[in-house]
Amino acid sequence: MTSNDDYVLEILQEEGLLSPEQIEAGRETMDGQQGSLLDHLISEETISETDALGTVAGRLGMDMISLADQNLPPQVISLIPPEIAKRYKVVPVFKTDDNLTVAISDPLEFDALDSLRYVLKCNVEGVVATSSEVQGALKRYYAAEDSMEAMLDQIDDGTVDVSVGKGEMADAENDDSDAPIIKLVYLIILEAFRARASDVHLEPMERKFRVRYRVDGVMHEVDSPPKRLQGAILSRVKLMAGMKISDRRVPQDGRIQVNILGRELDLRVSSVPTNRGESIVMRILDKQSLALGLPKLGFFADDQQTFEKLIGLPDGILLVTGPTGSGKTTTLYACLNFINHPDRKIITVEDPVEYHLSGINQVQVREDIGLTFASCLRSILRQAPNIVMIGEIRDLETATIATEASLTGHLVFSTLHTNDAPSAVTRLLDIGIKPFLVASSLRAIIAQRLVRAICEHCKEEYEPTASEMKLLGGSGAQLGESALYHGRGCNKCSLTGYHGRKGLFEVFLIGDEAQRMIYQKVPAAQLRERARELGMRTLREDGLRKISSGMTTIEEVLRVTMGDSN
């Protein structure tokens, strides 16, 4: 069990866990057999391995843990390569800043910890676990690595031809020669799903083939396949997505449907030619995320009540604004789910259709055959819908039809790319919509951003730094005496302190006074100032409420609302 039995036996005697008679009896029963006396005593159940390890660990100032109770994230496991972990019989369990904590079954194996410090170029601290748990964890967490190594070995042996790309009619599913690449691509998608990633980025670099996952809006680089497999992996993904694998000179889009651990996922695939090869992004669309209720999006009770009234209106335009990746589509789908009843006909026009919703008529824009947003809208209005969702208002023709639809008894949902809610009015006027039409058709504009939510498993109270409060400026006074929280970092959140995301919302209600100001073409800054006087909370102010409630951190709110200091 350890590298120094005599020292351990002495400690156990001092602690009263073993007597000299038990030790002597153990030597006699070994009867000259080779091996560790301590291991023999444990096998004879004279003392348990947990008691022995716990006692020695306590004497050395080390903690004892149970790996069976741990669910170690891939990001932590990837910190130590499989060959290193197996050589030194260690399992990485925790990472903070420059300190890595590893589980080891021999608390006296100081050389192993020193070697790891040298190899990994960071401070390595040890915690103690039983040898059976360490061995089990090595098998459990590095099984995927073993399978990848086996596949790569098979490729290296020359028994597999990885030259995919014989044309879009190739049937890779039935081609045994491509089996390792198929498994490798599936493994990349599987690990992304386990890590809760929203996107998988396959990026050819000069000397390596980089794989990155976007988790809670933040990019994380993971262990990447060898550069030599770049072409085969990219060709396999394109084939799965229905793209032309022989054409590498133009951007392409495709879709993959895959079953991961019993979950049906849609992957929206995009390829762009770069100077190092094709860069491919797979966006993971999980239909279960559409089951989110409005509170799960991040609405407080008062904002939710206002929002439910808005989406229950019989007509008008409801706009959701924000940059790409701010959750606009998720919010719109949550709205449609909330009002999706048999007595209402709902039609959407999208490019692309990201999620397929039961009970809703969805139209995919295809500009290559003339099926544009405008032409779709003109046609679907003849279908007598109650509610219309337009993926995005992009041009004058689309905006005009949306406005006319709202004025003829339809409730219209759509999105715009603006930084705040009042700026959407200016955007519509710049597109060319007449001020009186904007004033008459708009019911509300909602600007939103996404912030990472504090992990509930490692949430703890803390004192904000002076620099954080300084960055908040005068708005920091709104926090008052509220207790502030952050995530310490744990296995559930991959040591980030965050798990999942919530929305920050700026709800601009278009009342009588706002309509008059829009009709008079008042500048956006003046419109924003008056909206705040009428009760509109800015994104920063909504973020402060969510900080006070322990939902997110100052760091996150500052990250997404730096331009909203008022």
pTM score: 0.68
pLDDT for the residue 508: 94
Residue with tokens 């091996």: 35
Reported as a pLDDT band with limits 50, 70 and 90, residue 364 is: confident
Instruction: Encode pLDDT of 407-420 as tens digits.
Output: 989 999 999 999 89
pLDDT for the residue 183: 80
Distance CA 4, CA 408 (A): 86
pLDDT for the residue 4: 67
| Mean pLDDT value across residues 65-79 | 79
Which of 116-125, 428-437, 470-479 is the most confident on average?
A: 428-437
* Strand-by-strand arrangement of the 197-204 sheet: 218-222, 209-215, 197-204, 277-286, 263-274, 252-260
Higher pLDDT, 372 or 160: 372
The CA–CA distances, whole Å, from 162 to 9, 168, 247, 362 equal 56, 16, 18, 39
E-state strands within 84-188: 90-96, 99-104, 123-128
| Mean pLDDT value across residues 227-253 | 90
pLDDT for the residue 31: 67
List, as one string, the DSSP characters of 465-498. Answer: PHHHHHHHGGGGGGGTT--EEEE---TTTTTSSE
Beta bridge partners of 260: 263
Instruction: Encode pLDDT of 149-182 as tens digits.
Output: 555 554 554 443 333 333 333 344 445 445 778 8
By the 8 A CB rule, do 238 and 252 touch?
yes
- Answer whether residue 195 shows pLDDT above 50: yes
Distance CA 461, CA 351 (A): 44
Reported as a pLDDT band with limits 50, 70 and 90, residue 287 is: low
